[in-house]
Chains A and B, each alone.
Chain A
Amino acid sequence: MIALLLAALIAAPRPPKGAEPQAPAPAQQLSDEELRERVETYLGTIDRPVSQERWKALGPQAAPILEAVIGSSSELPTRRAMAVDGLTAVSPDRAAQMVGNLARDEKQPTVVRVAAMHGAMRVYPSARVISELRPVLRSAKSPGLRAEAADLISRKQGGCAEVREQLGREKAEHKPAFDRAMKRCGG
């Protein structure tokens, strides 16, 4: 029933998908071992997104652990992407030093670049989001990545002009991927 679903969305994560709205969390006092265990747990999520509030509750002491995961070439791409997510929450300043570069780096796995683009939305002011992601929008080899950049840039003031301009350059077969951004920009 609806009431059950609402209760589930707000409090208990009964359904295995969907965001987990959270009350603001007090900083946690975890031992080093507990902190590592908690980070590992979050990096192992399957179909339940870990909210920014949950990451944030770990505190800035989680940043070095996450940076090590992000920077390791032996780590699996989805774990690195989740670590990017976490870093933007626990230490936005440190995340700001890397998400722009990660988003633009063609050598990075797609999932890491997507996470970095979303992270850029959280750690940069609007104008910088556009300047950091513009190269992805214009020249990423993957049309899906260009479309994802369009979706994010379209949420920022002045972004729609950039998106429309790029849409004009896209092949017809790739234009449907830009529908979400264009819908936000009024078609």
Chain B
Amino acid sequence: MKRLAILLLAGAFLAACSNDDKSCAVVRDCPSTQRCLNGKCVDPGGQPPSALGEACGSTVDCASGLTCQTPASGFVGGFCTASCSQPGDCPGSSCTAVGSTSFCMPACTADPQCRQGYGCCASLGNVCVPLAACTSPACTRPVVASALPSGQVQQFGTHKVGDTITFDVPPGTGSLTIVHQAVLATLNVVYQNQVIDNSAVPLSILQPDGGKVYDDLTFNPQSSADGGTDSSGIYAFYGGLTPSTAAFTIPNTTGSLDGGVPSGNWKFVVNDYANECLSLGCNDGGSAENTYDVQVVTRQAAGATLDAAFYIVTTSFSEANAGTNATVQRMVGAFKNIYAQAGITANVVFHDVSATDKARFGTHISATATGPCDEFGQLFTLSGAHPGNTMNLFLVDAITDNSGSGGVIVGIDGTIPGPSSYNGTVASGAVVSAADLFGGTCGVGFSLNCGADRTAYIAAHETGHFLGLFHTTELQGSDFDPIADTAKCPCIPCASATDRPNCLSPNASSPVMSASRCVSGGCGGGDNLMFWILDSGISVGNISPQQAQVMRLNPLIH
């Protein structure tokens, strides 16, 4: 025992020595929690007080006029600074947007001049900023408030990844939605040499009885070309691709529709992929410092009304004539009819956007560059001009893959589900091609050969994603939605005889499930609104009762 005590004392002494004696030439030589003072790394709190950009534990550690931005706000090791609104507010430094607030930040010419955890950010004008804040000046990632009544929204403020949040679910709750909004969060991680958007997703979710209903480290529903794997029994399903702004809604599976949302104290852990990288071993991008604004939205019984706002990011028509243009009104009618079959009444309004935004976004949306700072994410922030609980549908001239491999598509959703009631974020809506709107052949009834009907169908499909629905059957016939009452079309029984032997092939010759092969018996779903393609002879926009239930429990539907 005596020997153990001596060892502990010696250890403590050595540790103290190593902290006190660490020499430094520049601040980057020191741990992020220390300053470099007279050639030594020292803790903040001494004299002279910490200057702009130096470490701090609280504001008393900082020089006069400066406040301490803490690690909980994304400033690793604490950071003495002052808020600002214009360049003149920061003599000798630069007024810089860091997340959604502007601060005085020290100038630099290279990374070694900045503390550990900070980088010299060229795109923000050569200033030391937290690594997560170094984005293009044109990139905004607004943190916004929900448009829902305060009784439905529990706000928890800014939290670091790894924090556990406890929230209350009242009796009679129909659905809950956990919303992450990046305050300071890195954009990408590199895993197995692939650059992946840094998605936010709860690390785990616990019900009031302590039962874990979601664990992102173990969630891995298997693909199944024979349709044998059924994900509908899973309580919570996550589809990925939710960078910066992320909504996680329960219920979104048959399992949770059946199980309901029990009242009491639930818990979840704030998390993103950068945080998971620390345990999974990524090539780059691991961080436990990212911060998110965290809110939880709850709602009671299913709703029946959808407010849709179409943003006109094309020159083919305007808000002024949308109400009287017969083609546009046909599109509105078709959109309403599709949702009527789910028991949802849709109200539609139109909004113009500026000529600058039309030029920037109308032909520029990429099918594959879907990060928050890409045109894709930035387009959705335009919805901030019209706060409300609306489905924001952005009508553009073209959507293509700008990576060089082609790939024209006609719609794309921000995230599944979308951040309902949070207009103005980088995920607040879906993009729909208006290229076909005024084309095609339009008769009396609904037809996908009619451009207006086709555009309505695409808008309805993307709205389905925003409301939490996945494709009933994906391209290869091996992945399916987590809903039990939608017909599926698995590859092995449903592909043609020629194709069937290739059902498990990972190459580009693997079969694709056409709508015409998915029309009856064990090979169905081709007529469903959420089938992966549209086919003018088969697609009619069917919505199953459980799909309707998922949509009507989303906070967007009132």
Interface residues of A (CB under 8 A from B): 1-6, 8-20, 22-26, 28-31, 34, 37-38, 40-42, 44-57, 74, 76-78, 81-82, 84-85, 88-89, 109-111, 114-115, 118-119, 121-122, 142-145, 147-148, 151, 155, 173-174, 176-177, 179-180, 183
Contacts and interface: CB of A to CB of B under 8 A. Distances in A.
B439 A47 contact: no
A78 B496 CA distance: 27
B134 to A, nearest CB: 14
B444 to A, nearest CB: 19
A30 B496 CA distance: 10
Interface residues of B, number: 89
Given A41-B512, A78-B408, A85-B406, A2 B276 contact: yes
A147 B435 contact: no
B421 to A, nearest CB: 22
A2 B282 contact: yes
Contacts of B360: 144, 147, 176-177, 179
A76 B533 contact: no
Contact of A110 (B397, B475, B534): B397
Nearest to B222: A12
A45 B509 contact: no
B498 A29 contact: yes
Given A25-B509, A144-B359, A176-B359, A5 B400 contact: no
Contact of A12 (B223, B280, B362, B403): B223
B interface SS class: loop
B17 interface: no
A74 B280 CA distance: 53
B47 interface: no
A19 B433 contact: no
A114 B398 contact: yes
B244 interface: no
Contacts of A54: 508, 512
A79 to B, nearest CB: 8
B28 interface: no
Contacts of B461: 46-47
Contacts of B180: none
In the complex, the 5 A-B pairs of residues with the closest C-beta atoms, listed nearest first:
A49-B407, A25-B508, A53-B508, A144-B363, A111-B435
Most chain A CB within a 10 A radius of its CB, from B216, B408, B412, B534: B408
A48 B511 CA distance: 15
Given A6-B194, A144-B358, A173-B355, A78 B508 contact: no
Contact of B241 (A17, A38, A121, A177): A17
Interface stretch (B62-70, B364-372, B383-391, B545-553): B364-372
B163 interface: no
20 contacts: A1-B220, A6-B194, A12-B474, A15-B241, A16-B416, A26-B509, A34-B496, A46-B532, A49-B409, A51-B405, A53-B507, A55-B406, A76-B436, A81-B400, A118-B400, A142-B315, A142-B362, A143-B359, A174-B359, A177-B360
